């Protein structure tokens, strides 16, 4: 008896041991670091590994445990000191939790020492740490530490994720005290494991320009986050500047860039704490201390000539003096907190941000466009911009401009320099573009970036005269410049009234020939070539080379006067030069009686020639003029007409323009006195003042008319943009722009008024049609259950504008509303399409861990959001459902983005590739259609996205870069949208073929439809409703299979883009359905599926995957029911035997089931026994499944070895 007991006891112990071993062998293995390390160094090693993966940088520093509590970071020794007590105390219920956090926090802080966002630097603060006494933290370190602990997860049984969450709550709670919790929550959410690497890499590799200093990077951080989350909004209004190139000067030319600051007598710098680029506001901090900034200023750009300044706080008894770029000073003190000050003429430079400059070169028939390097010099009210191109000799000056503010959103630009005629200057300013050549040097233009209007400020440079080459008016001096003091220049000015050579003629000018040692000279004379005549440069003095022509050349370089007759030249007087830095009076006289031509300078006759000009020129029109040129040496050459007859046309032209303006019903009171002064100056022989007054008149005329021209043109352009246009309206718009460019603003005003009236008439006719279309769209949306009641108020406002005669404004509002409603309708259809696709997919597959009730609730919620116009939220709900169903296999760098609900194929990083394959194979013998929304990034990125079929398996992926994650799969057919080259290719196992030139990398989402027709063997690609390509291709033959996986892929090379997609609908063909065959006895028994008669035994059925209730009945037999679940693609056979109806007998139904799926093999046997009332009934279902699992149950590994050793012992014991 004792032996038996002992044997039982020993057997029981062994059984327990075996059970423990079985449990050990079936338990999942822990992370090696957790399993093997319980030391602090092991924890540090785990942090290092995760930090490298998170940031692509090494975690710096060592950890030293000290007695007691406390925490210290020694940046010099790179040591983090943590008190031992921190590892024994409870932190929110976690023993040692604070110690674990402090170790990670300290090492992160040592590893990103200069990362903006730590201390008071507000890169990631978004205006958080500003004033004394406010809570401060190393916020950058806190955020990175949070995600580092999230990545490690747990260590030695300690849940690091919970520790991170507790600390995050503490940080947010502290910022909540100062009303800034929203910003911090945003940072913890979006500055995450997907964006930290890009941001940190950008900071340490200099991707962020220094022009704002280290501290003004909030909007640039936002730019990085938008690469991964393109639709996320910042916690405060932010937008990145248009230009952020490191070598661009224009980003510096902002209203406060040269802001001078003195607090008392101490000169200080400032820190840009926050800027909102959209509303053009700054918050700057002055005098940074350990407790914050002493002074905080709010600065807002109102327009091109005005800033507003308001002190937000002022913790100093000293006065603060601000000096702006134009020399204007503003002094404020602590008593001025909350007050607003206006600073005149201080804000114009911001407008230069919208300026793009290009140089076009034309060498040996090759046209190239260059983006020049820029240098700029600011002076009061204007900026000189110099443009340089690189050459073998270094950077070489090619052009320069004088830029100043004209009015809001308008710049005045003067062409100062262009190196030679092989270059052209392109100036782009918003919608305005102007191309200038060498002959435009000295000319001034006004550019309006809203309407694209370009106004020539000189207009008709001088009535009565024609200017050629480099000739221009200097309105400040009141002179006509023939050449600037630059080499290789030439210019001419011709009096445009032909000279009657049969009568005496005398012309007097005041001229300036420059300084001694310069070159080349000035000339006067007659020519019959025309008003555009111009001779050669250098020693030709702009005159020689004109044919027919006769005149005198004052050749300063050779210090002599010569007589020029066409191409012949004869010395007249030697040893004479007028290049003495003084002005001289020149008189040219023609006497037809004596046939003599005489040159007189300062009352002295220097030359006289006898020549028959009437015989020479005959009946041709002959013009008098003055020319000049420079060659290898330079001089400034200018003159002033000094006879009343030569300037008589100037006041007359002004009076004509004044009269025309008055005829248009415009007030001319302010302009009339200027014209009167001009006439007086002419009579008094004050010829310089005539030129100066004319320029003043033209400037005031432009200022008077341009705002109205602009407003008329704005309305006209609005009508054109809405396609409410006509040939007449287009002709008027072109006439406006042409007249404005030529400086004829009076004609431009007249044309603009006509265009505006025509636009009003056309928009009056159009508005009724637009309202009908709006009501039609409203009805369509109502049919889809979308609320449109909020639109009634806007429709009423359109009617009000219509009644007031403001037809263009009414059309603009109506067009905006119509566009909005169309967008809403399109989004509604897109959401409904996705709902239909998901419902079809769910019913077809029943995959994923989601109940039918949960699925239906999600669909109902999406529909509710759709009705409320919350389409992004609706799509996110549907994406969440899709994720739970998740019929997509994600490969490579692809991942499901929880925050946006999209499947990201590649992040906006170099050398990435990703693919998403629909898990269930497509039967290519049947039609297939897929609809998806995709995003291909921005135009300047790369490489592209692809869509198609492959038969390698759901984990296939192609190459990086131009392979787009698709090419390189050995058996694949599809379309590659190669954005880098802006082309579409057909990809097959045999290679690729170009199909179209198009790009969808425009920063927008696009809707794609791909359709396969097995009958015609055509594959079609549509994007945004347009058929881009349709090709004949035998996909099954190329893949060597009738089934394939459908999917989307993308790839980045050195150039990169964010690529993602959202499946909207997948029309899954028949292979997703299951097949059910029911056989057995008796034959002819009726088969009911879910209560509906489907046939009689034997029967073969094709059913959608899902759960079914099956009933088999026949008269005289016991009815039997059973429930089965069919999986996608499954083929199952049921054998049923019904028992005849017998008293007190048991009818037995035996069911044998065999099933196969395309993913795994499983066998199921079911036995059902049924008895009548009072008898025993039992149902037994045995399932045997053959499968493999890396972490599944069962006895495996070392436990099997132990069992093998123990089996003989067990056997002996039993014996």
- The residue ranges of every structural domain in the chain are 1-30, 32-234, 261-346, 350-450, 465-647, 888-1066, 1073-1185
pLDDT at res. 401: 92
Q: Are the beta carbons of 945 and 985 closer than 8 angstroms? A: no
> Secondary structure of 254-273 in the HEC alphabet?
CCCCCCEEEECCEEECEEEE
Q: Given phi > 0 = left and psi -120 to 50 = alpha, else beta, which region is 59?
A: beta
- Averaged pLDDT for residues 27-45: 59
Residue 380 pLDDT > 80, yes or no? no
Residue with tokens 């937008």: 239
Say how far apart CA 444 and CA 702 lie, in whole Å. Answer: 12
Task: Specify the pLDDT at position 836.
Answer: 82
Q: What are the DSSP calls for 736-759, one per residue?
A: HHHHHHTT-HHHHHHHHHHHHHHH
| Mean pLDDT, residues 916-921 | 88
Mean pLDDT, all residues of the chain: 81
pLDDT band at 940 (very low <50, low <70, confident <90, very high): confident
Confidence of residue 1151 (pLDDT cuts 50, 70, 90): very low
In contact, 732 and 716? CB cutoff 8 Å: yes
pLDDT band at 111 (very low <50, low <70, confident <90, very high): confident
- 686: its two tokens: 């004050």
Predicted confidence (pLDDT) at residue 295 exceeds the cutoff of 60: yes
Mean pLDDT confidence for 397-424: 89
DSSP state at residue 116:
B
Query: H/E element holding 934?
Result: strand 928-935
Residue 1201 pLDDT > 90: no
- Local confidence band at 1013 (pLDDT 50, 70, 90 cut-offs): very high
Q: What is the pLDDT of residues 725-777, one digit of tens each?
A: 789 999 999 999 999 999 999 999 999 999 999 999 999 989 988 999 999 99
- In this predicted structure, the answer to whether residue 156 has a pLDDT above a threshold of 90 is no
pLDDT confidence bin for 491, thresholds 50/70/90:
very high
Q: Which residues pair with 1032 in a beta bridge?
A: 1018
Average pLDDT over residues 232-237: 66
**What is the model's pLDDT at position 35?**
35
Query: How far is the C-alpha of 899 from the C-alpha of 467, rounded, in Å?
Result: 65
Confidence label for 255 from pLDDT (cuts 50, 70 and 90): low
Question: The tokens of 1043 are what?
Answer: 């089934």
Q: Which of 216-225, 1029-1038, 1159-1168 has the highest mean pLDDT?
A: 1029-1038
Provide the pLDDT confidence category of residue 186 given band limits of 50, 70 and 90: confident
- Greatest pairwise CA separation for the chain in angstroms: 164
Could you tell me the CA-to-CA distances from 386 to 374, 395, 503, 1143, 1158 in Å, in that order?
6, 11, 51, 111, 70
User: Is the pLDDT assigned to residue 842 strictly greater than 80?
Assistant: no
Q: Are 478 and 678 in contact (CB under 8 A)?
A: no
Q: What size, in residues, is the chain?
A: 1215
Whether residue 797 has pLDDT greater than 50: yes
What one-character DSSP code corresponds to residue 1157? -
The backbone region for 1184, taken as left when phi is positive above 0, alpha when psi lies in -120 to 50, beta otherwise, is: beta
Domain 888-1066, classified CATH 2.60.120.200, yes or no? yes
Q: Does residue 943 have a cis bond before it (omega within 30 degrees)?
A: yes
Contact of 705 with 746, CB cutoff 8 Å: yes
Residue 289, strand partner residues:
292
CB 442 within 8 A of CB 484: yes
pTM listed for this prediction: 0.60
**Ranges 28-42, 234-248, 880-894, most confident:** 880-894
Which of 348-352, 775-779, 1074-1078 has the largest mean confidence?
775-779
Which of 440-444, 533-537, 570-574 comes out lowest in average pLDDT?
440-444
Averaged pLDDT for residues 842-869 = 79
Closest by alpha carbon to 464, among 443, 486, 480, 453?
A: 480
Given this model, what pLDDT does residue 145 score? 92
Alpha-helix runs per DSSP H in 592-726: 613-617, 644-647, 649-663, 672-683, 687-721
pLDDT band at 1188 (very low <50, low <70, confident <90, very high): very low
Q: Are 824 and 846 in contact (CB under 8 A)?
A: no
Report pLDDT for 1072.
55
Q: Is 60 exceeded by the pLDDT of residue 1199?
A: no
Q: Which residue would you say has higher pLDDT here, 596 or 1209?
A: 596
Which residue from 1204, 1193, 1190 is spatially nearest to 24, judged by alpha carbons? 1193
Architecture of domain 1073-1185: Sandwich (2.60)
Q: What is the mean pLDDT of residues 139-165?
A: 90
Cα distances (Å, whole numbers) of residue 651 to 463, 665, 675, 682: 9, 21, 6, 8
State the average pLDDT over residues 330-353. Answer: 78
Q: Render pLDDT for 695-711 as a digit per residue (tens, 0 to 9).
A: 999 999 999 999 999 99
More confident: 722 or 621: 621
Q: How far is CA 204 from CA 56, 114, 210, 1160, in A?
A: 11, 9, 12, 50
Specify the pLDDT at position 227.
75
pLDDT of residue 1174: 34
pLDDT band at 103, cuts 50/70/90? very high
Residue 685's pLDDT band, with cuts at 50, 70 and 90, is very high
Using an 8 Å Cβ cutoff, are 539 and 522 in contact?
no
Q: Which candidate, 351, 577, 573, places its Cα nearest to that of 447?
A: 351
pLDDT at position 567, please? 82
Least confident range from 214-223, 576-585, 939-948: namely: 214-223
The C-alpha atoms of residue 771 and residue 795 are separated, in whole angstroms, by: 8
Neighbours of 72 (CB within 10 A): 13
What DSSP line would sit under 548-578, residue for residue? Answer: SEEEEEEETTTTEEEEEETTEEEEEEES---
Q: Could you give the CA distance from residue 1215 to residue 1212 in angstroms, rounded to a whole number?
A: 5
Phi, psi for 1161 (deg, rounded to 5):
-110, 130
Quick one: DSSP state of residue 1127?
Answer: P
Q: Return the half-sphere exposure (C-beta side, CA atoms, 13 A cut-off) of residue 1140.
A: 1
Distance in angstroms (rounded) separating the CA atoms of residues 142 and 48: 17
Query: pLDDT tier at 460 (50, 70, 90 boundaries)?
Result: low
> Which pLDDT value is given to residue 257?
59
Q: Does domain 465-647 have CATH number 2.60.120.200?
A: yes
Which residue from 516, 525, 567 is spatially nearest to 546, judged by alpha carbons?
Answer: 567
What are 555's strand-pairing partners?
A: 521, 560
CB 1007 within 8 A of CB 830: yes
Lowest model confidence (mean pLDDT) among 198-207, 883-892, 969-978, 1052-1061: 198-207
Average pLDDT, stretch 1048-1072?
81
User: Is pLDDT of 332 > 80?
Assistant: yes
- Helix (H) or strand (E) segment spanning residue 938: none
Average pLDDT over residues 433-454: 91
**Residue 14's closest CA among 1205, 1073, 1171, 1215?**
1205
- What pLDDT, on the 0 to 100 scale, is given for residue 203? 58
Of the two residues 902 and 976, the one the predictor is more confident about is: 976
Q: What is the pLDDT of residues 512-553, one digit of tens each?
A: 999 988 889 999 999 999 999 999 999 999 999 999 999 999
pLDDT of residue 476: 86
Is the separation of the CB atoms in 1005 and 1011 below 8 Å? no
Phi and psi at 605, nearest 5°, equal: -80, 120
Nearest to 248 by CA among 173, 341, 355, 146: 355
Q: Which of 61-70, 119-128, 478-487 has the lowest mean pLDDT?
A: 119-128
CA distance to 376, 394, 488, 930, per residue, from 388 (Å): 11, 9, 19, 52
Give the residue among 838, 827, 899, 900 at the shortest CA–CA distance from 870.
827
**Peptide bond preceding 156 in cis form (omega within 30 of 0):** no
Q: What is the pLDDT of residues 550-571, one digit of tens each?
A: 999 999 999 999 999 998 999 9
Confidence band of 899 (pLDDT split at 50, 70, 90): low
**Helices (DSSP H) in 366-456: which residue ranges?**
none
Q: Which of 305, 327, 424 is nearest to 370 (CA)?
A: 424
């Amino acid at each position: 008896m004792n032996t038996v007991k002992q044997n039982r006891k020993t057997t029981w112990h062994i059984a327990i041991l075996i059970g423990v071993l079985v449990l050990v062998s079936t338990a999942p293995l822990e992370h090696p670091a957790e399993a093997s390390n319980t030391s602090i160094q092991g924890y540090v090693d785990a942090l290092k590994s995760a930090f490298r993966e998170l940031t692509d940088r090494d975690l710096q520093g060592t950890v030293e445990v000290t007695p007691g509590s406390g925490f210290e970071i020694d940046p010099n020794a790179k040591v983090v000191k943590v008190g031992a007590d921190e590892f024994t105390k409870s932190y929110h219920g976690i023993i040692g939790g604070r110690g674990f956090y402090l170790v990670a926090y300290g090492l992160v802080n040592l590893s990103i020492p200069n990362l903006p966002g730590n201390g008071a630097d507000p890169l990631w603060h978004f205006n958080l740490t500003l004033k004394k006494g406010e809570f401060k933290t190393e916020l950058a370190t806190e955020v990175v530490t949070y995600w580092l602990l999230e990545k490690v997860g747990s260590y030695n049984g300690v849940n690091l994720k919970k520790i991170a969450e507790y600390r995050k709550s503490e940080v947010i709670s502290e910022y909540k005290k100062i009303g800034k919790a929203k910003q911090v929550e945003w940072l913890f959410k979006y500055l995450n494991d997907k964006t930290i690497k890009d941001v940190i890499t950008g900071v340490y590799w200099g991707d962020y320009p220094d022009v704002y200093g280290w501290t003004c990077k909030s909007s640039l951080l936002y730019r990085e986050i938008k690469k991964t989350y393109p639709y996320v909004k910042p916690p405060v209004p932010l937008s990145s500047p248009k230009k952020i190139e490191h070598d661009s000067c224009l980003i510096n030319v902002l209203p406060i860039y040269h802001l001078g600051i003195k607090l008392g007598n101490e000169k200080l710098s400032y820190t840009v704490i926050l800027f909102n680029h959209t509303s053009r506001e700054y918050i700057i901090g002055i005098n940074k201390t350990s407790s914050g900034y002493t002074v905080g200023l709010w600065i807002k750009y109102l327009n091109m000539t005005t800033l507003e300044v308001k002190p937000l706080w002022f913790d100093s008894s000293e006065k603060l003096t601000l000096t702006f770029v134009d020399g204007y000073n503003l002094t404020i003190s602590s008593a001025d907190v909350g007050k607003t000050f206006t600073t005149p003429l201080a804000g114009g430079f911001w407008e230069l941000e919208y300026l793009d400059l290009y140089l076009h070169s034309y060498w040996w028939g090759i046209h190239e466009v260059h983006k020049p390097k820029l240098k700029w010099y600011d002076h009061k009210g204007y900026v000189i911009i110099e443009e340089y191109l690189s050459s073998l000799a270094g950077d070489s000056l090619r052009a320069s401009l004088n830029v100043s503010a004209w009015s809001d959103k308008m710049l005045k630009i003067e062409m100062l320099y262009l190196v030679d005629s092989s270059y052209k200057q392109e100036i782009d300013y918003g919608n305005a573009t102007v191309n200038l050549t060498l002959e435009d040097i000295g000319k001034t233009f006004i550019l309006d970036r809203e309407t694209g209007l370009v106004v020539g400020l000189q207009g008709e440079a001088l009535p009565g005269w024609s200017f050629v080459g480099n000739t221009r008016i200097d309105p400040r001096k009141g002179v006509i410049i023939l050449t600037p003091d630059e080499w290789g220049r030439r210019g001419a000015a011709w009096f445009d009234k032909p000279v009657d050579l049969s009568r005496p003629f005398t012309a007097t000018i005041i001229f300036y020939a420059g300084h001694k040692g310069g070159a080349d000279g000035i000339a006067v004379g007659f020519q019959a070539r025309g008003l555009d005549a111009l001779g050669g440069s250098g020693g030709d003095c702009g005159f020689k080379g004109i044919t027919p022509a006769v005149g005198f050349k004052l050749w300063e370089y050779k210090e002599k006067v010569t007589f020029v007759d066409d191409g012949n030249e004869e010395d007249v007087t030697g040893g004479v030069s007028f290049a003495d830095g003084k002005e001289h009076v020149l008189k040219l006289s023609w006497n037809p009686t004596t046939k003599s031509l005489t040159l007189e300078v300062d009352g002295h006759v220097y030359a006289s020639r006898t020549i028959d000009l009437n015989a020479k020129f005959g009946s041709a029109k002959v013009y008098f003029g003055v020319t000049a040129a420079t060659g290898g040496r330079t001089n400034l050459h200018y003159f002033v007409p000094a006879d009343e007859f030569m300037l008589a046309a100037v006041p007359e032209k002004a009076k004509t323009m004044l009269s025309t303006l008055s005829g248009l019903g415009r007030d001319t009171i302010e302009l009339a006195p200027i014209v009167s002064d001009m006439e007086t100056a002419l009579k008094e022989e004050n010829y310089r003042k005539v030129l100066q007054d004319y320029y003043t008149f033209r400037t005031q005329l432009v200022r008077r008319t341009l705002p109205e021209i602009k407003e008329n043109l704005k309305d006209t352009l609005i009508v054109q943009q809405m396609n409410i246009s006509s040939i007449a309206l287009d002709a008027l718009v072109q006439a406006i722009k042409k007249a404005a460019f030529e400086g004829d603003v009076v004609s431009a005003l007249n044309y603009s008024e006509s265009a505006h009236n025509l636009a009003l008439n056309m928009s009056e006719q159009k508005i009724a049609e637009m309202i009908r279309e709006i009501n039609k769209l409203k009805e369509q949306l109502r049919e889809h259950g979308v609320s449109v009641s909020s639109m009634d108020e806007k429709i009423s406002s359109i009617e009000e504008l219509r009644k007031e005669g403001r037809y263009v404004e009414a059309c603009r509002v109506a067009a905006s509303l119509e566009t909005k409603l169309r967008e809403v309708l399109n989004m509604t259809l897109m959401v409904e399409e996705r709902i239909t696709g998901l419902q079809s997919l769910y019913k077809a597959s029943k995959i994923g861990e989601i109940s039918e009730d949960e699925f239906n609730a999600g669909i109902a919620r999406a529909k509710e959001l759709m009705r409320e116009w919350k389409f992004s939220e609706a799509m996110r709900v549907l994406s969440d459902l899709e994720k739970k169903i998740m019929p997509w296999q994600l490969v490579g760098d692809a991942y499901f983005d929880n925050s946006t609900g999209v499947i990201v194929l590649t992040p906006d990083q170099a050398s990435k590739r990703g693919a998403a394959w629909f898990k269930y194979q497509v039967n290519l013998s049947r039609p297939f259609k897929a609809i998806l929304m995709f995003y291909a990034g921005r135009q300047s990125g790369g490489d592209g996205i692809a869509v198609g079929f492959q038969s390698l398996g759901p984990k296939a992926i192609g190459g990086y870069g131009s392979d787009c994650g698709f090419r390189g799969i050995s058996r694949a057919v599809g379309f590659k949208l190669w954005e880098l080259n802006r082309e579409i290719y057909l990809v097959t196992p045999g290679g690729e073929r170009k199909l179209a030139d198009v790009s969808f990398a425009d920063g927008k989402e696009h809707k794609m439809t791909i359709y396969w027709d097995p009958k015609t063997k055509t594959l079609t690609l549509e994007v945004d409703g347009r058929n881009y390509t349709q090709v004949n291709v035998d996909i099954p033959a190329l893949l060597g299979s009738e089934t394939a996986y459908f999917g989307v892929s993308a790839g980045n090379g050195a150039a990169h883009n964010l690529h993602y997609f959202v499946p909207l609908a997948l029309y899954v063909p028949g292979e997703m359905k299951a097949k059910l065959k029911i056989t057995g006895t008796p034959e002819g028994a009726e088969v009911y599926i879910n209560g509906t008669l489907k046939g009689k035994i034997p029967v073969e059925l094709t059913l959608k995957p899902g759960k079914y209730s099956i009933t088999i009945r026949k008269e005289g037999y016991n009815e039997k029911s059973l429930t089965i679940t069919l999986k996608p693609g499954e083929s199952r056979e049921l054998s049923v035997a019904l028992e005849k109806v017998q008293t007190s007998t048991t009818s037995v139904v035996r069911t044998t089931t065999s099933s196969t799926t395309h993913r795994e093999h499983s066998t199921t046997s079911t036995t059902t026994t049924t008895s009548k009332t009072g008898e025993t009934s039992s149902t037994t279902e045995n399932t045997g499944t053959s499968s493999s699992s890396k972490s599944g149950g069962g006895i495996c590994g070392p436990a099997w070895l132990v069992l093998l050793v123990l089996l003989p012992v067990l056997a002996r014991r039993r014996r």
